[in-house]
Structure 1
């Protein structure tokens, strides 16, 4: 294989063969294809796309560029959930324990936050002592005994993706749907799972701002997974406002634990139950959606979901007492309300900007090397369509630095638009694709 021949083929809009794609991904992985040629092919793919056949081979080659986990010693169908990310998205923390408590093992390899989006690993690490850096053998052991485990990506899983993502980031080819989809699915397929529920976010706080693009991504992800022989369902869900009320690591962990205790905000509870019910269907422990929803509700009510999280936390080195008593989670030194200055209806939220307001406090990273402050965050008291009066609390800031809190408040106020007109709240789920 000569890389320039592949670049020319794709530049001219023609299809790459299976052997060409596999040779290219192998060359990226072992370094025999230099960055400048890999970047050129990525740009050609950005403009010309990949056919279904090309995309399946591309994703499979990336999946097999490193280790593929063998979860055979974990009984039952192993089902994971992946979200494309947003603000206040702490679903994994309450979803995985509930699903595990219902009898479906959940091996979850998650990421960290960057920019306005939060990361599941950062939220989990708000629990004192919790380790997300387990060996593969220990990961499988925790899944077997606790029913779930949540860890970070290991170096030997889909190494081609790590190299290609770094190149996409510096060559303005991140937004390509085939490249996004193959990146996501290669990591998920390398987990050795049997099925996957996808939560594709759309709106002002999502990577996909428009429903059409979100639908295209969902269909592409679904196709890769199903052609790989996996059970896959894709939900397209709203991110035109933060999910739940809490933004920030300890804040979100606390709110997720509230859901496991039978409490929590309605939108977070609803999406957790819907995604979880689908995981139970894919896992084969339920045959009907109503039955699956009832199982999920029962796991909230009887405390078995909470117990599953506590078991996972203990096995991963964390303090299970923090699951039962969330006052043991990190807490900021100070808090103060952000008050409304008008009588009005909240008509629009720039959710990305709300996420940045939390990042400014220290809850997120501007660069991958930034250190997270797990204790800071934002509590949102208003939602789209709410009518407020002057002096009402629209949010609460939790902070350790006064200057940062001032900047965060300015950012937060600038993210909200008001009107005298009533507006209907957006739907929580737009579509479900199977």
Structure 2
């Protein structure tokens, strides 16, 4: 670029010398300064091909552009790994890929406390304030800075999967109840952090990269909507505290199927609104397919600049079919080796002959679990899902007609 300005420079120089005017000499000085600056940029670029002109601070000073990604220096640090998924998508199993790695600090569902925090702070769900609250939690997590009320809610959560393997090796309760103690323990991992979130989308995560410069690596886990819907039915039907709600839905089953009466299809009946999972998650088939539709990026899709190098799609059925292969891809994406002990854990976890058939077991035959919906869903329920999600099935490469029925015309 600098070299291309040289002929113009010499013509102006000749004119300035010919006129010998004060204006001519001033123009000469300005031209000389511009060429020196541009020559310096060209020299730096030619000696460092990995640096583009727009990344050069001198270029920014001249042009006024300042759109260089703020996270340029942060990218040199270990990534903050986020497993982004939905309810009953198989994320508990996938999350163990990180929980079992003692080089990572992992929190299971780090946004779980937002439900109670919203009530404490009088923030409504599905509002900008609610999203900003979630972002603040993730910002704090990225710095190992945890608030007292957040840690109190997380520590008192009855879900056994709040347990971090590293914490369990350092605490008999598998928890640190002090915010400062949890923060200090987190810092021992020197930025190697991971979490699973089921209350988020790409829109929520984008400002963390663009505005805060956090080096996110987003693993987007999706699942065949038929498998997810079947698992949600099974969940609601087997949680004792929801038996009253299910009893109100049961009379409608024969004629409507189970999805609609349980609030899992396209709307939520009033008698199901007290169910926590119905309020906290995106429970309907219509909602989960919209979430997949809006957030899924196939390998052929051009990613927006902020997401380039940060997004990895995992299809649950692919993981169930070839766990080690998919685990290798995930670890290549996050830039860490999949060590032999983790490979053994993945194999044992996904090829289990355990008799534990509980809803939250992480040791199951993954392939059988992935295909279980084919036996559990009725013809009516499959048709209902296909009506809402046919385009999503095609987007993810599923065969809508591979089961025993065809969608209704």
TM-score by length of 1: 0.31
TM-score by length of 2: 0.32
Higher share of residues assigned helix? 2
Higher share of residues assigned strand? 1
Larger Rg: 2
